Amino acid sequence: MARMNRPASVEVTYQNMRFLITHNPTNATLNKFIEELKKYGWPFDDGAPPSNQIVHDWLSLVKIKFHEEPGCCIAVHCVAGLGRAPGLVALALIEGGMNYQDAVQFIRQNRHGAFNGQQRLPLEKYHPKMWLRFKDSNGHRNNCCIQ
């Protein structure tokens, strides 16, 4: 059986958020993996945008995790690690203050091949709610970033 050539895992860091984008462990474990995710209501079809509920749950998890454990890293994965996982990370970056083009480019710098046109469209249309605008130690909103 031919092995799929999969990109290496990459870390994406922005402000106080760290994500590890990766792919599903192996083709042999894919079905079991999908069944496990279904228990939590998280899977969505490849190439399709996540539902509003998935976006809400994802951003809630990100906000809580980075608030409770500053500096932690959240791993996100899908089968190839090029569409759904980078898409969820892009949503978090947009909520953190990036515009969608910058978020896509930022992820693509290290995750070559991430996002096709169909996967970028929901990001372009997404209206951030500013859930992930964290306050600095002086209580001010963190609205800028030096890259």
Q: Any idea which residues carry the catalytic annotation?
A: 46, 78
For 69, the 3-state DSSP assignment is coil
Q: What angle do CA 62, 88, 82 make, to 5 degrees?
A: 140
Residue in the structure block whose two tokens are 């760290």:
18
Q: How far apart are CA 48 and CA 50, in angstroms?
A: 6
For 63, the 3-state DSSP assignment is helix
Residues ≥6 apart with Cβ < 8 Å to 35? none
